[in-house]
Structure 1
């Protein structure tokens, strides 16, 4: 696997330039806005922007590795990656660090790792491998329950952290894969019903804390919500509204101002970074962001359709499902259309684990796309 990490020039010509350029532009756009929304505290702004750039360098190295190694070779190492992510989740359960009410982080000195981000990719790879071995026969009862087993093992650990945002991400990744490969719609309907029942059980089990419940339901009526649960959304809406069409860009001034969202929206550099972007650059800046995402997702879908095997196709489907849900959920919660769940904006929000694993995901899609055609050496 590691003998030859040099990419042949004929393969490089096959790399999807649109995906690569869109990814880099999104990351740099994110770094710029992370700096702008934390500019009020020079030390914090420099630290956050610098840390994100360091993770960008690490992510580019990972991108090269995941592009250089033929994804058909990665096929044999999927169980190691998958079960390794499960072990990390198990360690996190007992030795993890609590952040925002969830025990979901492992600290290795200055490095802070969120194993659930790794498990997200592990689920995609394992389902892709199993579906390839099953020749896509998902409606076989035995095959279906095998797939459900591999999907559920990491999710159980993530639910108990509790990290409802990542739980939802994993669910919609699995749903996207199952739907696309042709799972019977009655089974999908039953799965959605089971999800509703599971949410009701978890909701009343005491795993989710009262303040988390209040934050989740505050979008239904933010004005009536108390100062804690409705504060995030109310301030987010004010920040977005102040951006107008062209944006206010207070952070570009030299008077130390950072903008309303930066000063008043909690977690503005992570969960609510879209609020800062919409304020700084207005509707046009937000549309630019969504357009770049659109190019990225469109090209990923194209590669999924033309992949030479089921393994590659399902990898792309899973990653497209992640991007679609994460973008819709994050933007939706900042504008009050969806519950606040703590889901970050892919490639934009601050966070090393999120950036690294998302770039790894994009690299896997590029890998599949590069090797769709037979290259004669």
Structure 2
């Protein structure tokens, strides 16, 4: 039994320790900034989730990802079922019924939907030998991607819906979908937003956030106040930041500074240098994941990497962009930095699958 829980030394040599080490450095940097934003109470909860996440990472890299592929439909439909259950019986947080509570722990099933979409689309593309431009194949992929997204919209959670959309877009692009279809998809989204603008689906706070993004000075004391305070904090950090001092401007005056607006804490305390340092670490991970995806032995492995890259690129650009007024404000967190157990767990699950693909891209004789 114990032998089954031990990773073979030949596989261990293929593990990309660089990705794992850098992700832990980012995580530690995130913990420091969570402490600066909200004190020690949130740190203890985050440590519990990190412990669970690292345990899940070890289990996932033990199992050949080609075997994991067989369990993808079960995981996908279980995630869909949990989304439906949450839609009716979940806990409302910030206007969205998107959480399930288990004693002291809260779980956000929509975070797992990101992973379910990546795995299901990757599996189907592998089954289709990557032939995404066949109309039947494309429709099948679109339906599987669309089911969880529709339920997340109804929670309603626009931020996670946007992430799911860009995950699918990135995977379809890497799979070689005709650019005309991609452009048509963007036009369809714009048309859909115009149609639902005055419908019940368009939540009032979504509309206010979009209007605030288009015209930042229109409501500076209302919906635009969070952005204004964030930019003041980041601006005060300058090049080098104010250092690791508690009770800063951002921690006092920017709501959700430990989650959605964690980059405002980074900008204030560590300045431009700290922001560049974080982006450099992200860039190294993404570069190494791209290499793993390019050398994968099958379509399934390549598409897992493409989904992970799409998730991170959009989340990083959106989260940082919204704190400095370049993107509309959404509830999208910064990977491995923001406070939130479900996000940490799903990010590490995705990372474990990428490491799994890299470990098994070569044939090893046992």
- Corresponding residue for 1:42? none
- Looking at structure 1, the residues matched to 185 and 216 of structure 2 have their Cα atoms a distance apart, in angstroms, of 31
State TM-score, norm by structure 1.
Answer: 0.94
Residue number among 336, 360, 368 corresponding to 2:349 in the alignment: 360
- Looking at structure 2, the residues matched to 188 and 223 of structure 1 have their Cα atoms a distance apart, in angstroms, of 34
- Corresponding residue for 1:13? 13
CA RMSD of aligned residues (A): 1.3
- Corresponding residue for 1:31? 31
How far has the Cα of 1:209 moved from its partner?
Answer: 2.6
Determine whether 1:185 maps to 2:174.
Answer: no
- Corresponding residue for 1:66? 60
Partner SS for 1:4: helix
Q: Does structure 1 conserve the Cα–Cα contact (< 8 Å) formed by 2:122 and 2:300? A: yes
**Given the superposition, is the C-alpha separation of residues 144 and 262 from structure 1 closer, same or farther in structure 2, using an over 3 Å criterion?**
same
Residue number among 282, 287, 290 corresponding to 1:298 in the alignment: 287
Identify unmatched segments of 5+ residues in structure 1.
39-44
- Counterparts of residues 97-176 of structure 1 (less than 5 Å): 97-176=91-170
**May I ask how many residue pairs the two structures share in their alignment?**
365
Write out per-residue CA displacement over residues 24-67 of structure 1, whole angstroms, 9 at most, x where no aligned residue: 011111001100122xxxxxx22201111111111100111111
- Looking at structure 1, the residues matched to 212 and 257 of structure 2 have their Cα atoms a distance apart, in angstroms, of 18
Q: Does structure 1 conserve the Cα–Cα contact (< 8 Å) formed by 2:19 and 2:285? A: yes
- Counterparts of residues 46-57 of structure 1 (less than 5 Å): 46-57=40-51
- Looking at structure 1, the residues matched to 154 and 84 of structure 2 have their Cα atoms a distance apart, in angstroms, of 11
Write out per-residue CA displacement over residues 326-358 of structure 1, whole angstroms, 9 at most, x where no aligned residue: 000000111110100111001100000001000
Identify unmatched segments of 5+ residues in structure 2.
none
Determine whether 1:196 maps to 2:185.
Answer: no
- Corresponding residue for 1:83? 77
Residue number among 203, 210, 216 corresponding to 1:222 in the alignment: 216
Determine whether 1:307 maps to 2:301.
Answer: no
- Looking at structure 2, the residues matched to 228 and 103 of structure 1 have their Cα atoms a distance apart, in angstroms, of 24
- Looking at structure 1, the residues matched to 99 and 193 of structure 2 have their Cα atoms a distance apart, in angstroms, of 23
- Looking at structure 2, the residues matched to 5 and 326 of structure 1 have their Cα atoms a distance apart, in angstroms, of 34
Q: Does structure 2 conserve the Cα–Cα contact (< 8 Å) formed by 1:223 and 1:234? A: no
Partner SS for 1:30: helix
How far has the Cα of 1:193 moved from its partner?
Answer: 1.2
